[in-house]
Chains A and B, each alone.
Chain A
């Protein structure tokens, strides 16, 4: 699993690539969860870009649940972008559609949560 982080105005975009399974979920958590801190209101929002994740098991869902609960607790916003069909199916089984908002692309997610960030975002 690989990851990279990009900041765009008030939005932090965490992009993950590869498999998120039992063995890589701790690394996924290490990358994602520190960004929950300060994710409050409009000050800072978080997008998890999963467009390059082709496999996610319940261990990965657990990390996302921790992130979602952490944000909810402090009235912050974390959303997901670019779910691959196989990952989307796993989300449906786990009813994660009720936990996190999802968008087809990062640009769509930005437009929904921070128009200011969407205006300066450059696709890479």
Chain B
């Protein structure tokens, strides 16, 4: 019999949302039995997503970021990020060309490929005035392999 879904929720203002949400998700991943390397991968993604929400959705203005964690099917960690900023779909951001000369690269652009490399399932929807991004992580590490998000 499958374990019932366990759901927990946190929220933070953008000024400390990255650290707060990362710690929250990291603790849930550890509770779910994820190996330390996979917990790091979850943290990398959460840090990236929340930093992008703060920057793109809220335009670096003060806002609220909610994060709900659910353990589904006993082993998959599902993270749902909700914010009330302007419409922002991180999943539709264009893949940057990172294979160019350093002079033609920007300072960032790593976040989207990192998320795609580390997440097992991803979806976005605009729900009224809110952005809802849902990411799911299997317990198996993704780094070191060539798998990509479905």
Q: List 28 A-B contacts (CB under 8 A).
A: A21-B47, A22-B18, A23-B18, A23-B19, A54-B40, A55-B44, A57-B43, A57-B44, A57-B48, A58-B44, A58-B51, A58-B114, A59-B47, A59-B51, A65-B105, A69-B103, A69-B107, A72-B102, A85-B144, A86-B40, A89-B143, A90-B143, A93-B114, A93-B117, A94-B113, A95-B99, A98-B98, A99-B105
Check A66 for interface membership: any CB of B closer than 8 A: yes
Check B4 for interface membership: any CB of A closer than 8 A: no
Q: A58-B47, A65-B107 are in contact. List 13 more A-B contacts (CB 8 A).
A: A22-B47, A23-B18, A23-B19, A57-B48, A65-B102, A68-B102, A69-B102, A72-B102, A85-B144, A86-B143, A94-B109, A94-B114, A99-B105
Nearest residue in B to A72 (C-beta to C-beta)?
B102
Indicate whether A94 sits within 8 Å of B110 (C-beta atoms), given known contacts A72-B103, A99-B102, A99-B105. Answer: yes
The 8 Å CB contact of A89, one of B19, B102, B107, B144, is: B144
Give chain B residues whose Cβ lies under 8 Å from the Cβ of A57.
Answer: 43-44, 47-48
Q: Please, how many residues of chain A have a CB less than 8 angstroms from a CB on the other chain?
A: 24
Q: How far is the CA of A89 from the CA of B110 in the complex (A)?
A: 12
Nearest residue in A to B98 (C-beta to C-beta)?
A95
Q: How far is the CA of A22 from the CA of B26 in the complex (A)?
A: 15
Q: B91 to nearest A CB, angstroms?
A: 17
B102, A58: Cβ atoms closer than 8 Å:
no
B44, A90: Cβ atoms closer than 8 Å:
yes
Which residues of A from 40 to 60 have beta carbons under 8 Å from B?
54-55, 57-59
Interface string of A92-119 (1 = CB under 8 A from B): 0111001100000000000000000000
A58, B98: Cβ atoms closer than 8 Å:
no
Q: How far is the CA of A98 from the CA of B98 in the complex (A)?
A: 9
Check B37 for interface membership: any CB of A closer than 8 A: yes
Check A61 for interface membership: any CB of B closer than 8 A: yes
